[in-house]
Structure 1
Amino acid sequence: MRVARQTLVLVLIALTSAALASEPEIVSVKKIWDRGPHNAFTDLIRFQDRWWCTFREAEGHGGSIGKVRVIVSDDGDQWQSAALIEQDGIDLRDPKLSITPDGRLMLIMGGSVYEGATYRTRAPRVAFSVDGRQWADPRKLLAEDHWLWRVTWHKDWAWSVSKMGEGANPRRGMLYRSRDGIDWEWITEFRLPDNIWNASETTLRFMPDEELIALTRPHWIGTSKPPYRQWNWTKLELKIGGPNFIRLPDGSLWAAGRKYGEGATTVLARMTRDSYQPVLTLPSGGDCSYPGLVWHDDLLWMSYYSSHEGKTSIYLAKISF
C-alpha cells in the first residue's frame, strides 16, 4: 500500500510539473511598425525562410480607405516594407496570408465601399505574389456582402468562412472551398444553436484525423467531420474578437484574440474542441488584437496590434512553453 501511495504521489508530481512547464511565458515583445496613422489587423507567416507580416494602414479603425502593407524580416527583429497594396475607393481590410500548393504567397482581404464615412457594401479581394514584393492587382471574389476572412489550405484545397451581414445581428457564416483561391465552391451554412444568427470572423484548422475545427467570433467553437456539412457547436462563456488558433507539435491547441471586459486586451488562451480559457495577457489595450500565429524554433511567434502606448501600432511577441 505504501509503495502504491508513493507511486501515486510521484505520478501527480510529474503531471503537475509537466503542466507547469507547458504554461506559456512571454520571451519578448517588440513594436515592429507604426508608420501609418492607424496600423491594425495583422497576420504573420514564414515564406522563403523569411518572416512576412501584413496589416492595414488607414486613418482609423473603420470608415476610411485602407491600404494593405506587407513587411519582411530575416530575423524577426529588423523589418522593412515589401509592398503596399491599394485600390481606388476601396477600404482593404483584415489581410490574411497563406501559401498556395504551387508555392505562391496568397493575400485574402475584405474590400469595403463607403459613401463619405457611411458603409455601403463590400466583397472580398485576393492577390498573389511569387516573392512577397511584387503583387498582382487585387481581384474581386464572390458576390456583394461576402467577406472571406481567413484561408486555410488542406490537401490542395483552400478553405474559408465568409461572414455576411453588417452590424451585430444578424450575421451568417458560409463555408467555402477553392482549388485556386479565385473560384469558390459553397459547402454549407453555419447553423448555430437556438436559431442564433451571429457567426462572424472565423479561423479554420484541420486536425490529423480530418476533423475540422472552427473558432468563430463572437463566442463559438464548431467541429465537423468530412464532408463538413454537419457541425456541432459549443457556445463559449467569453467573447473573442479577431480569433485565431494554432495546433502545436504536441497536439495542444492555443488561441489568441481580443478579450472584452473593463478594457480590451489581447490574450493567449488554452483551447480544446469545446473550451477556451485565456492564460496569458499580452502588453495591449484599447483598439487591439487580430493576431497572427506561427510556431517556429520551439517558440510561438505572435503578431498583433494595440494602442496601449498611444498610437495604434504593430507588435511581435515571442512566447515559450
Structure 2
Amino acid sequence: MQAMKRCSIGFCLLTSFLVATMQQAGSGMAAELVRVDRIWDQAHHNAFTDLARFKGHWFCVFREGTRHVSDDGALRVLRSEDGLKWESVALITSDDSDLRDAKLSVTPDGKLMLSGAGALHDPSEGSHQSYNWFSDDGVTWSDAVDAGKRSDWLWRTSWSNEGTAYSVAYHTGDPSDRRVRLYKSDDGKRFDVLVDDLGIDGYPNESSILFLGDDTAYCMLRRDAGSKTGMWGVAKPPYTDWAWNDMGVRIGGPHMIRLPDGRFVAAVRLYDQKVRTSLCWVDPKTGELDEFLALPSGGDTSYAGLVFHDDKLWVSYYSQHESLDEEVETDFTTAIYLAQVKLD
C-alpha cells in the first residue's frame, strides 16, 4: 500500500484506502472500507476517541495532550454535519488533573453526556475522579459533575431500555485492590454502587456494555494481568449476577454495538502479530471474536467510537501509523481518524 498523504489543513482524505475489502472467515460476510479521513492532528498527541449522532450532527470527542500520559490532557469536542468537514466547538480543561478517555452518550431526557476521568495532579486523596458533563447542543457544556467514588474509574456509561445508566468502574488506587465495580444511576449525575465486586481477576479495567430488547446485558472487559485475555459477561436484570467467559484473546480499548440485523460488532486493539485497531464480529454466546477488518493503524492506536448510520458503520479511532511512516512528514505523534465501513 502507498503511504498516506499529509494534508496541510488537518483534514486529510486517505486516498490509498478508499476501497479495501476483506472477507470474514467462514461467514461469507464482506466489509468494504469506503473511506478513512484524518479529522484532527492539531495537538502532539491526539487519542482516546468516541463518536455520537446528536440532533442531526456528528460529534467526536478525544483527549489531546503532549504525550500518551501527561499532566496537560484536555477533552476536545468536534462537530460535523456530514462527517467530512469538522470544526472544534469545545475544549474542556482542568486545573488539577489530566483529563482522559472521553465517552459520549445521549441521556433519556435528550441531553448529550460526556464522560471522562481526571488523573489528579495531587493523588494524596485518590488517583482519579470520574466526571460527567451535559449539553443541550454539544457546544456549551455544564460544569463537571463527580461520578462515583474517588479512585474508581467509571469507564463508559451505557443506558438500559428503562433509561438507567450503568458503568463498570475499575479501581486505580491501591495496587492490591484491582476489583471492578458496577455502578448505576437514574440521571447520569448520582452514581451508586450496584455490585461492589464483579469477581474477576487479572487486573480487569476497560469495558463496554450493551442491552438487548429483552433487557439482557452483555459486557466486554479488558484484562492486563495473568493471561491478559478479555472477559465476556452476561446478566439479566437487576444485573447483580453475572456469568463470565474467557474470550481467549488479548484486547484493548473495547467497544461494541448491536447492528439493526442483530449482529454484534466490536472495535478493539489486537496484539497478535502487528498491533492494530480492528473490527470484529462477536458471538454473543461465548464472546468469541472474529476479526473481519483491520483499520489503517499501528503503534499507539485504539479506543474507537462506533455508530451505525445511513447503512454504514462509522468508526472514530486514533493511531500512530502515519508518524511511523518515514515517507510521511508529520507534526504529530498520533492523530484522530474517521472510517466509513459498508457491511454486507
Query: What TM-score, normalized by structure 1, do the two folds share?
Result: 0.89
Alignment partner, residue 45 of structure 2: 38
1:80-91 superposed matches below 5 A: 80-91=87-98
Which residue among 335, 338, 344 is the counterpart of 1:313? 335
Tell whether the 8 Å contact from 2:96 to 2:122 is kept in structure 1 after alignment. Answer: no
| Aligned equivalents of 1:282, 1:39: Cα separation in 2 | 17
Q: Tell me what 2:276 maps to.
A: 265
Query: In 2, Cα distance between the equivalents of 1:299 and 1:242?
Result: 21
Q: 2:297 aligned with 1:292, yes or no?
A: no
Query: 4+ runs of 1 displaced by more than 4 Å?
Result: 166-170
Question: Partners of 2:314 and 2:148 in 1: how far apart?
Answer: 32
Deviation at 1:169, TM superposition (A): 7.3
Q: Cα offset for 1:68? A: 0.3
Alignment match, 2:207? 202
Displacement, 1:210?
1.2
Amino acid at match of 2:261: D
Which of the residues 49, 58, 78 maps onto 2:56?
A: 49
Report the equivalent of 2:199. 191
| Corresponding residue of 1:111 | 118
Aligned to 1:242: 253
Task: Output the amino acid matched with 1:203.
Answer: S
Alignment of structure 1 residues 88-103 onto 2, 5 Å? 88-103=95-110
Q: Which has the higher helix share?
A: 1
Partners of 1:239 and 1:70 in 2: CA distance: 30
Per the TM alignment, residue 176 of structure 1 is displaced from its structure 2 partner at its CA by 1.1
Secondary structure at the aligned position of 1:251 is classed as coil
Partner of 2:221 in structure 1? Answer: 216
Matched, 1:149 2:147: no
Q: Deviation per CA, 1:151-199: give whole Å up to 9, x if none.
A: 111222111111113699752211111111111121112113xxx2422
71, 75, 100: which one pairs with 1:68? 75
Given that residues 219 and 232 in structure 2 are in contact (C-alpha distance below 8 angstroms), is that contact kept between their aligned partners in structure 1?
yes
Distance 1:119 1:79, change over 3 A: farther
Shift of 1:36: 1.2
Which consecutive unaligned segments of at least 5 residues does structure 1 have? 1-15
Q: Distance in 2 between matches of 1:45 and 1:249?
A: 17
Which residue is equivalent to 1:256? 267
- Decide whether aligned partners of structure 1 residues 168 and 278 sit closer, same or farther in structure 2, where only a CA change above 3 A counts: farther
1:58 and 2:58 equivalent? no
Worse-matched range after superposition: 260-269 or 301-310: 260-269
Higher gyration radius (CA): 1
SS of residue paired to 1:200 = strand
Mapped contact 1:190–1:231 kept (Cα < 8 A): yes
CA 1:158–1:57 in structure 2 vs 1: closer, same or farther (change >3 Å)? same
Classify the secondary structure of the residue corresponding to 1:309.
helix
Work out whether 1:226 is the aligned partner of 2:232.
Answer: no
Question: Percent identity at matched positions?
Answer: 41
CA distance in 1, matches of 2:125, 2:274: 26
8 A Cα contact 1:190 1:199, kept in partner: no
1:98 aligns to what SS in structure 2?
Answer: strand
1:222–1:181 Cα change, 3 Å: same
Q: What's 1:8 paired with?
A: none
SS at match of 1:147: strand
Structure 2 CA distance for aligned equivalents of residues 130 and 227 of structure 1: 30
SS in 2 for 1:77: coil
Amino acid at match of 1:133: V
Residue 130 (structure 1) aligned to one of 127, 136, 139:
136
- Consecutive unaligned residues in structure 2, runs of 5 or more: 1-23, 224-229, 324-332
Residue range with higher mean Cα deviation, 126-135 or 270-279: 270-279
- The one-letter code sitting in structure 2 at the alignment partner of 1:315 is Y
CA distance, structure 1, for counterparts of residue 49 and residue 234 of structure 2: 25
Residues 1:182 and 2:193 are matched in the alignment: no
State the alpha-carbon separation in 1 of the partners of residues 297 and 282 from structure 2.
21
8 Å CA contact 2:258–2:264 kept in 1: the answer is yes
